Amino acid sequence: MASASLKLSIALTCALLLSSACHGLEIGYYKKSCPRVEAIVRDEVKKFVYKNAGIGAGLIRMFFHDCFVQGCDGSVLLDPTPANPQPEKLSPPNFPSLRGFEVIDAAKDAVEKACPGVVSCADIIAFAGRDAAYFLSRLTVKINMPAGRRDGRISNFTEALQNLPPPFFNITQLIASFAAKGLDAEDMVVLSGAHTIGVSHCSSFVSDRLAVPSDINAALASVLRRQCPANPTPANDPTVNQDVVTPNALDNQYYKNVLAHKVLFTSDAALLTTPATTQMVLNNANIRGLWEKKFKKSMVKMGAIGIKTGYQGEIRRNCRIVNRS
């Protein structure tokens, strides 16, 4: 069972989100029905992340991309079918850049062997994102992630475009995008810190950061121009590290990079365009341990977006396809 303080924390988060659906989430939700699930998922994530840190970055990003479209319901995992040829995972915000699907498949297979039909794919994504953060932060970001989400049956290409904030958004658009999901400006700044790991395709930033005047650091811009084609195409769209200083570590270096104008996206640079968000960047860059503490809270808060509980969803047997009616 969750401790009284943890239960109070979740209750306060739910109150902030004004979401009755949040009532179904609980720390240790599978303690009786599948007691080893969190250890099983963590073991699978560890195997992949220690081979390739970028997969860990992909899992954190997958959690974000799942929750912002149809809520945290595993809809980003659904493959195309004749009935639904264009699901979320084929939408430009996700394809071809989103990765880590094989980790979720491996974790789901292992969990199904231990506890058939009990654990949702949505919860596995949440656990995997949490565990990736733990390993990439050198075991310092320990998130108490509640569970109890059920899997959705709807996955729509267009909804991903409509709900996921693109890298060229300005600060007003970013704040509005997060507010629509019950997240405030501080959550937006804190969750942007995940850009301290992983890679980006050149096509995500060349046109609005390198092809026109921008505030990007001149030395970094020069390096990026050597790495990226002037006009990326699907056949020629290399990737570069998002954090040039500590590319494989989940840490607060991102905020130091923002201050030094050594970030890839317009949406990263936008954090310095208002006094309030600039102060948040300064605090996260300079106060030891602050960002990690806030990141844990914002990940839990994000994980409660639009969840399905009870009869609102299902427990998928295969994360890539909905159950037959």
pLDDT of residue 2: 43
**103, containing H or E segment:** helix 101-114
pLDDT of residue 12: 52
pLDDT of residue 141: 98
pLDDT beneath 70, residues of the chain? 1-23, 325
pLDDT of residue 76: 98
Residues contacting 71, CB < 8 A, separation 6+? 21, 152, 305, 306, 307, 308
Q: Catalytic residue among 65, 195, 201, 261, which?
A: 65
pLDDT of residue 24: 75
Contact in structure between 60 and 302 (CB atoms under 8 Å):
no
HSE, CB side, 13 Å, CA atoms: give it for residue 16: 19
What's the rounded Cα separation, in Å, for the pair 66 and 91?
Answer: 12
pLDDT of residue 310: 83
Whether 65 sits among the annotated catalytic residues: the reply is yes
What's the rounded Cα separation, in Å, for the pair 289 and 218?
Answer: 30
pLDDT of residue 23: 54
pLDDT of residue 106: 98
What's the rounded Cα separation, in Å, for the pair 279 and 266?
Answer: 18
